Amino acid sequence: MAETSSTSSIINNHSDSYDIVSSPAPDVQENHQTQQQNILYRITISLSDAAGFTDRDDALSCLVILLTFWFFVSMTLILGVYGSNEIMVGPNTSRLILANSIFVQDIKAGIYLDGNKHTQSFSKFVEGTLVKEEEEETQNKLFVYGFHKIPPLNVPVFWSEIHNISVSANFHKDWVYYLNKGSAVNISYVVNHEGSYPLHLIIAKGREELLRWVENPSAPSNTLSWNIIVGNGTISQNIEESSEYFIAVGNLNNFEAEVQLEFKINSILYNTTGAYYICPFKHRQCSLKLLMLKPAFAILSTGLIKEYDAIYVKLSFGPRWFVYFIGSEDH
């Protein structure tokens, strides 16, 4: 009986010893769990900080992109769409000028008086002195009209011009007209020289077309109307888009050529009745103020000025600066 009891006691002791080894003390286990929690907590804080920095960097990048975009849009409007430009006006010009009153506070139009252009514009001199009466007469036929809506394009006008000119070898002569949609041009010509030495007669839409033709006068595709003329004949052209048009005669021969031209022009003008703003060019400049958020349109108009009185007019648009500043601050 004693042996049996001893054996049983040894087995129990081993069993107790095994339990102690496999089960850590409560304090040790609690410390271990606390360390794990601390480690996990620190890792979580680090990851959230990194995410915060990334979000702030993304927001800053977006802000920089938006500000840069707004700056370029503003400069494009100020210097491009609403930048100053020079236009040449001829007889019976009736030109619509558009501007957004949100971005533009005024439209200014003035006669360009720079050196040679001034000479070309009025071109009638007596011993080097400009004939003031002719200049004043021409200016009195120039007007700027202001409207709150686009006026009707419904005033027909007809006029004719005869030009007897000599065109030097490898040179050209041109005339400019602003014609609205629905206009028509008819040109009669008589080439005065012996032999079959043709000239070129073209109608170009805009100055760019004219310059392309000057660079390559033998290419028919460069202009709206391209013709080789010999002897006499007529050329007609309907105008399907309001724009500046050039009629030009080119002489690619090695000698001077004489030609007689007759222009018959049927044009359509804007009806300026009911304009709230009327400004003659007596003082060389007109300024049309635009009210914020109110539609505004201007018409640049000339009467039947003489051919040699073709005038350079400078158009400028005054920016409404606070709109650009507010746009920059909002972004």
CA atoms of 270 and 157, how far apart (whole Å): 11
Q: How many CB atoms lie within 10 A of CB 92?
A: 23
pLDDT higher for 238 or 29?
238
CA atoms of 18 and 12, how far apart (whole Å): 10
Do residues 166 and 292 both lie within one domain? Answer: yes
Tokens linked to 29: 């286990």
Is the pLDDT assigned to residue 127 strictly greater than 60? no
pLDDT higher for 242 or 14?
242
Is the pLDDT assigned to residue 243 strictly greater than 80? yes
Question: Can you say whether residue 151 is alpha, beta or left, with left for phi > 0 and alpha for psi between -120 and 50 degrees?
Answer: beta
In a domain, residue 70? The reply is no
Do residues 145 and 19 both lie within one domain? Answer: no
Do residues 225 and 91 both lie within one domain? Answer: yes
Is the pLDDT assigned to residue 77 strictly greater than 90? no
pLDDT higher for 303 or 57?
303
How high is the pLDDT of residue 307?
55
Percentage of the residues of the chain whose pLDDT score is greater than 70: 59
Do residues 92 and 22 both lie within one domain? Answer: no
Domain extent, residue 27, equals 2-62
How high is the pLDDT of residue 172?
94
Confidence of residue 235 (pLDDT cuts 50, 70, 90): very high
* Residues in contact with 260: Cβ distance below 8 Å, sequence separation at least 6, in sequence order: 162, 163, 164, 165, 189, 190, 192
- 57 membership: H or E segment, kind and range: helix 26-75
In a domain, residue 71? The reply is no
How high is the pLDDT of residue 145?
94
In a domain, residue 89? The reply is yes
Do residues 155 and 48 both lie within one domain? Answer: no
Give the CA dihedral 217, 219, 224, 227, nearest 10 degrees. Answer: 70
**The sheet that has 225-229: what strands, in order across it?**
171-179, 243-251, 199-205, 225-229
Confidence of residue 162 (pLDDT cuts 50, 70, 90): very high
Once rounded to an integer, what is the mean pLDDT over residues 8-18?
A: 42
How high is the pLDDT of residue 140?
63
Do residues 22 and 97 both lie within one domain? Answer: no
In a domain, residue 77? The reply is no
Q: Which of 2-11, 195-204, 234-243 has the highest mean pLDDT?
A: 234-243
pLDDT higher for 23 or 214?
214
In a domain, residue 74? The reply is no
Once rounded to an integer, what is the mean pLDDT over residues 220-241?
A: 94
Do residues 178 and 309 both lie within one domain? Answer: yes
Percentage of the residues of the chain whose pLDDT score is greater than 90: 40
In a domain, residue 10? The reply is yes
How high is the pLDDT of residue 120?
32
Q: To which residue do tokens 């539609």 refer?
A: 295
Do residues 36 and 130 both lie within one domain? Answer: no
Q: How many CB atoms lie within 10 A of CB 207?
A: 14
Is the pLDDT assigned to residue 292 strictly greater than 80? no
In a domain, residue 109? The reply is yes
How high is the pLDDT of residue 195?
64
- Residues 262, 160 contacting (CB under 8 angstroms): yes
Once rounded to an integer, what is the mean pLDDT over residues 112-129?
A: 36
pLDDT higher for 142 or 60?
142
Judged by DSSP in three states, 151 sits in: coil
Mean pLDDT is lowest, of 135-139, 178-182, 270-274, for: 135-139
Do residues 93 and 17 both lie within one domain? Answer: no
Domain CATH code at residue 210: 2.60.120.380
Mean pLDDT of the chain: 74
Is the pLDDT assigned to residue 33 strictly greater than 70? no
Our count of domains for the chain comes to 2
Do residues 20 and 89 both lie within one domain? Answer: no
Mean pLDDT is lowest, of 192-206, 226-240, 262-276, 315-329, for: 315-329
Do residues 47 and 101 both lie within one domain? Answer: no
Do residues 110 and 51 both lie within one domain? Answer: no
In a domain, residue 76? The reply is no
